[in-house]
A = this chain, B = another copy of it.
Amino acid sequence: MTQATARQATAGRGRLTPEREAELYEHVIALVREHGYDSLTMDAVAARAHVSKATLYRQWREGKPELVASAMRHTKPLPYEGIDTGSLRGDLFALADAGTDLEDDTVFMSAVMHAVQTNEDLGAALRAMLVEPMRRVLEQVIDRAVERGEVRAGAAAGRFLAHALVGALPARKILDDTFADPEYMKAYVDAVVLPALLNS
């Protein structure tokens, strides 16, 4: 679709409806994943989402960083809530299985990682989207393991559980040139995360 056609398709619409906005955000996230944040242009977003650039800039005055941050904030949280299997290993394995899009997550993280270092709003949006929900769930997993007596209260590894798990995604790609999958994450949990939690 050309620029001109894209403009016509939304001419006079003003702000996007919530449905169109949700659709737009999905396109933005997909485009970031494909091209990386730095190479993404508002033209590409307009063309892919069939929205005029005027509409984009009316709603996201600061342009790309604001639009991408909004898209990240509106992404539905990972399906981690409600995981409670009755054991620490069971919970961590369920987490590995719940993240069905480990590859998508890794690519998205890679695509924004450089940009979040210079743009505070993007960094805050990434934390709201991916980091805080995961951290909350992991805290609950640890709290329950402590209540069950599996993990010592205040175990040092608890503080680094999110680091050890989140870091395993880019590390797998960097070190082995392949994406983390549930099997890899479970092997990593058994080899590193569980022994650390149970012995620190």
Contacts and interface: CB of A to CB of B under 8 A. Distances in A.
Contacts of A126: 174
Interface in A108-158: 109-111, 113-117, 123, 126-127, 130-131, 135, 156-157
A92 to B, nearest CB: 14
Contact of A175 (B39, B162, B188): B162
Nearest to A35: B38
Majority secondary structure of chain A interface residues (helix, strand, loop or mixed)? helix
Contact of A192 (B123, B164, B170): B164
Contacts of A123: 177
Contacts of A63: none
B113 A174 contact: yes
A158 to B, nearest CB: 8
Interface of A: 35-36, 38-39, 107, 109-111, 113-117, 123, 126-127, 130-131, 135, 156-157, 159-160, 162-164, 166-175, 177, 187-188, 190-193, 195-196, 198-200
